[in-house]
Chain A
């Protein structure tokens, strides 16, 4: 199966085993070595990855803001390419989304803001 990186992978919707959204493919990580062809190793998610894709000065401003706001989340989250179980309109990943770090911000917003409002 032919895959075009930018057309078929980058920016596509990611879902977990149950089909629940995880985010979008913010970046693609490849590895090169002298004796083997280049290979996709990871899909990357996170604000830092998104910031890096912008032209300056937006890139530096966002990267700085990201470090100030949440030092923990400043490292991008990586998913091993082997975990891809389905490619298409959405990309299905063999992980348990409920505990995945991809949903850390969603959980944080839920626990610290939304849950504190009655009727949530």
Chain B
């Protein structure tokens, strides 16, 4: 019974954790520009994330080590600095886009323009981390995150051509705007395979004191949970394709995406979109701030725990505070939130090998995972998808930057 509850919780967790501004914006833009054609990128990203999340849970359950701690242990301090610096900088960008999502959602509801909401959103997230515990963050973000199911309902109400959608699950060559197509593909991959999720998940597993008996449960949780997240992202893409393509709308600004549910659900659609966006992004902000704090504190061997009072884990609390402040400053500078979201997701794709290859080496090292080392399937699948994301990123990012 307790195990069953854990599985449910894991699924709910991913609903809160998977669909955030990155997946939302990239899926919606891809749907508006290329119809169903890019569904395959979401499928690949989700498959890769299932394997990776399962691995980070297994690492934590067997070795009682978090991903960040194990990285420094295995590869030593100088090498550890590379993912540390890359992931922290990237997390700041992603934090800014999530906060941008929260601000936009508040702007939609109140009409007050969005840079003003940045300090409010960042403060609210900080307060929750400062006063809350890990389970408050985890369960709160997940339960409220259930509102994102509205996209699945919307997709069904549009009666899409499911055979065509199923065909799009296999990769195909673009018929027009080839560079834009590949840039969207890598942005979707980067949005799905969020490395910060892995640090968060493994720290959560250690915080919840998992052991080897949790390995099977972890497998089910990762598979069902991340698949559900993938379904949500596909639903967003389908809705965007069916709403925007016939009307000839190209998405250039964030507030255009906000109208995607209105033709289906009317005024309610507008508010439900705002709620889904705000809550999903707020949950992601909490996870990113904690992930950076976990990464730094575990890497340097400081005391870390979201359950401890801030004064008892001072440097850990300082890091998540600084991450939130940094994100808020970027948003207040008034950068275009849609541009920063797309770019940070594509950059994530480019950084994936740095984050993932050392992780794979750990998962094949019996000193860390004992008899629970990776099989050849998971090694091959993850390598192939990460390799694809990297190649696409290296090719398409410079062209996108030059083009815009």
Residues of A at the B interface (CB closer than 8 Å) are 6, 10-14, 20-24, 26, 50, 53-55, 89, 105-107, 109-110, 113-115, 117, 119-120
CA–CA, A114 to B303, complex, Å?
Answer: 14
* With known contacts A13-B301, A23-B300, A119-B131, A110–B76 Cβ distance under 8 A: no
Q: Which residue from B77, B78, B299, B309 sits with its C-beta under 8 Å from A120?
A: B309
CA–CA, A14 to B310, complex, Å?
Answer: 21
In the assembled complex, which residues on chain A have CB atoms less than 8 Å from the CB atom of B81?
54
In the complex the two chains form, is A109's CB within 8 Å of B77's CB? no
- Shortest C-beta distance, A2 to chain B (Å), equals 14
Q: Which of A55, A107, A119 has the most CB of B within 10 A?
A: A119
In the complex the two chains form, is A55's CB within 8 Å of B302's CB? no
Within 8 A of A (CB), among B306-323: 309-311, 314-315, 317-318
Q: Which residue from B76, B302, B303, B314 sits with its C-beta under 8 Å from A113?
A: B314
Give the number of A-B contacts (CB < 8 Å).
65
In the complex the two chains form, is A114's CB within 8 Å of B77's CB? no
The segment from B64-72, B171-179, B223-231 found at the interface with A is B64-72
In the assembled complex, which residues on chain A have CB atoms less than 8 Å from the CB atom of B314?
106-107, 109-110, 113-114
In the complex the two chains form, is A114's CB within 8 Å of B63's CB? no
In the assembled complex, which residues on chain A have CB atoms less than 8 Å from the CB atom of B64?
89
In the complex the two chains form, is A20's CB within 8 Å of B76's CB? no
In the complex the two chains form, is B63's CB within 8 Å of A24's CB? no
In the complex the two chains form, is A23's CB within 8 Å of B63's CB? no
In the complex the two chains form, is B301's CB within 8 Å of A24's CB? yes
CA–CA, A69 to B178, complex, Å?
Answer: 51
In the complex the two chains form, is B311's CB within 8 Å of A115's CB? yes
CA–CA, A117 to B324, complex, Å?
Answer: 15
CA–CA, A104 to B302, complex, Å?
Answer: 12
In the complex the two chains form, is B301's CB within 8 Å of A89's CB? no
In the assembled complex, which residues on chain A have CB atoms less than 8 Å from the CB atom of B302?
21, 23, 106
In the assembled complex, which residues on chain B have CB atoms less than 8 Å from the CB atom of A107?
314
In the assembled complex, which residues on chain A have CB atoms less than 8 Å from the CB atom of B309?
120
* With known contacts A24-B300, A105-B315, A106-B302, A11–B130 Cβ distance under 8 A: no
* With known contacts A55-B78, A89-B64, A24–B311 Cβ distance under 8 A: no
In the complex the two chains form, is B78's CB within 8 Å of A114's CB? no
Chain B interface mostly: helix
In the assembled complex, which residues on chain A have CB atoms less than 8 Å from the CB atom of B77?
11, 24, 26, 50, 53
In the complex the two chains form, is B78's CB within 8 Å of A54's CB? yes
In the assembled complex, which residues on chain A have CB atoms less than 8 Å from the CB atom of B318?
109, 113-114
In the complex the two chains form, is A114's CB within 8 Å of B301's CB? no
CA–CA, A13 to B74, complex, Å?
Answer: 12
Within 8 A of A (CB), among B252-304: 299-304
CA–CA, A113 to B131, complex, Å?
Answer: 16
In the assembled complex, which residues on chain B have CB atoms less than 8 Å from the CB atom of A10?
76
- Shortest C-beta distance, B359 to chain A (Å), equals 17
A-B residue pairs in contact (CB < 8 Å), sample of 18: A6-B76, A11-B72, A11-B77, A12-B73, A21-B301, A21-B303, A24-B72, A53-B78, A55-B78, A89-B64, A109-B315, A109-B318, A113-B314, A113-B318, A114-B310, A117-B130, A119-B131, A120-B309
In the assembled complex, which residues on chain B have CB atoms less than 8 Å from the CB atom of A21?
301-304
* With known contacts A21-B302, A106-B302, A13–B76 Cβ distance under 8 A: no
CA–CA, A99 to B15, complex, Å?
Answer: 44
CA–CA, A88 to B300, complex, Å?
Answer: 18
In the complex the two chains form, is A13's CB within 8 Å of B69's CB? yes
Residue of A nearest to B81 (CB): A54
In the assembled complex, which residues on chain A have CB atoms less than 8 Å from the CB atom of B317?
114, 120
In the assembled complex, which residues on chain A have CB atoms less than 8 Å from the CB atom of B131?
119
CA–CA, A105 to B318, complex, Å?
Answer: 12
